[in-house]
Amino acid sequence: MPQQRRAQVTRRAIVIAAAEEFDRAGYDATPLSAILRRSGVTKGAFYFHFPSKDAVASALIRFQAQVWSKIWQRWTGRGLDPLSTAVELVDEVIRILERDVVVRAGAQLAMRDQETAARWEQLLGGLLRRSAEHGLLRPEIDPAAATRVLYATLVGVRVLSTGRAIGAAQQTGEIWRIVLGGIATADWLRDNPSVPTAAPRPTS
Amino acid sequence: MPQQRRAQVTRRAIVIAAAEEFDRAGYDATPLSAILRRSGVTKGAFYFHFPSKDAVASALIRFQAQVWSKIWQRWTGRGLDPLSTAVELVDEVIRILERDVVVRAGAQLAMRDQETAARWEQLLGGLLRRSAEHGLLRPEIDPAAATRVLYATLVGVRVLSTGRAIGAAQQTGEIWRIVLGGIATADWLRDNPSVPTAAPRPTS
């Protein structure tokens, strides 16, 4: 294996092992030794790539920011109405958080920063405000309140999803079904039948 | 002050100081010295009342369990329909959690036990299942899914309410407005106009 390629493999092993350990035990409770053990990388090799555990955390935070930025650009660039954009965006974010431990660990680290957390709510709030302006929300719904409720629900799902039979992605469908039923106009719900707002109740 | 009365005052000072410290910094991060400092109680007096910090936590857990038990009995004994019972019960729980640091700290400690957390969701789930049986939920709504969404929202609000301009109690009104709009039948919503399902949108 050429040296440059080997260096990439090592760096990637460190990043994944760190993400898995941070995801499992939290950043503060993860010693460097746990990252070394899980990655099978020596201390010398680690310090060749990163000056500290904190530097790995910074790399994870930068990586998740790039992922979100791409997803945001993709969905806002599709010409969907703002409410559909919000639905698709949230669904993809939740699916990625569930599937990809590297993004999930980075997002967990990023959310320790209150401003980052507030930024997510602002983005979602902007989409719901535009949804109200486009007449996609029922007139009695305050988009700021709807954003707070939706955001709290998503945070709660993330908090509760650990060790649950039902994953966060499945729960997101349930959330949209109920929240959209509570905020969207009848017209929007009729025009967007693919949104699972009226899934049949299980007969069991 | 008679000796028995003085002992009660000291015990109460310890419990309140412990609740305030647990609420602020968390149980694990609170040393006994912080409880002593905040309560103004000597170590000797503390050990007269409690064998350990853990024993204070147990007293807080027992106390919050008694509070919830009383509230549950009161609301389920009023003869309201199950959906209204759920609304009133959740509102009172959230208001008490916001107002009373002793109950809040006890609840936080109790929720570290997965079974206690699951029990809350079961109680709420029972009310929503009976709501479905009574025809108070729209036919397409799965009460178990509605419970998961509502419970996740309440957990999210509790997680996010720290350091927010809008308190958890105000948010609960928003949650009910949106969730009930998404799950309750038009008949139930018409018969329960006091539930804030159609508050006017701020004009600002």
Q: How far is A62 from chain B (nearest CA, A)?
A: 24
Residue B97 tokens read as 């959690």
- Residues A115, A27 share a domain: no
Q: Is B198 touching A (CB cutoff 8 A)?
A: yes
Q: What pLDDT score does B164 carry? A: 55
- Residues A133, A65 share a domain: yes
Query: Residue B173 sits in a domain of what CATH number?
Result: 1.10.357.10
Q: How far is B138 from chain A (nearest CA, A)?
A: 10
- Residues A112, A23 share a domain: no
Subunit contact B140:A200, Cβ cutoff 8 A: yes
Burial class, A33, CB count within 10 angstroms (exposed 0-12 / middle 13-18 / buried 19+): exposed
User: What residues contact residue A50 under an 8 Å CB cut-off, 6+ apart?
Assistant: A14, A56, A59
Q: What pLDDT score does A175 carry? A: 85
pLDDT band with cut points at 50, 70 and 90 for residue B188: very high
Subunit contact B155:A154, Cβ cutoff 8 A: no
Interface probe, candidates B128, B183, B201, B204, chain A, greatest A C-beta count within 10 A: B201
Contacts of A124 in chain B (CB under 8 A): none
- Residues B63, B40 share a domain: no
Contacts of B200 in chain A (CB under 8 A): 140
Phi, psi at residue A198, to the nearest 5°? Answer: -140, 45
Asked if B131 and B143 count as a contact pair (C-beta separation under 8 A), the reply is yes
- Residues A122, A164 share a domain: yes
The tally of domains found in chain B comes to 2
pLDDT band with cut points at 50, 70 and 90 for residue A155: confident
pLDDT digits (tens, 9 = 90+) for B93-124: 888 988 899 999 999 899 888 788 788 889 99
Whether the per-residue pLDDT at A199 is higher than 70: the answer is no
- Residues B184, B171 share a domain: yes
Domain coverage including residue B125: 55-204
Q: How far is A164 from chain B (nearest CA, A)?
A: 11
Whether the per-residue pLDDT at A35 is higher than 50: the answer is yes
Subunit contact A151:B156, Cβ cutoff 8 A: yes
Subunit contact B202:A171, Cβ cutoff 8 A: no
Name the E strands within chain B.
none
Predicted ipTM beyond 0.90: no
Q: Is B165 touching A (CB cutoff 8 A)?
A: no
Matching residue, tokens 């930024």: A119
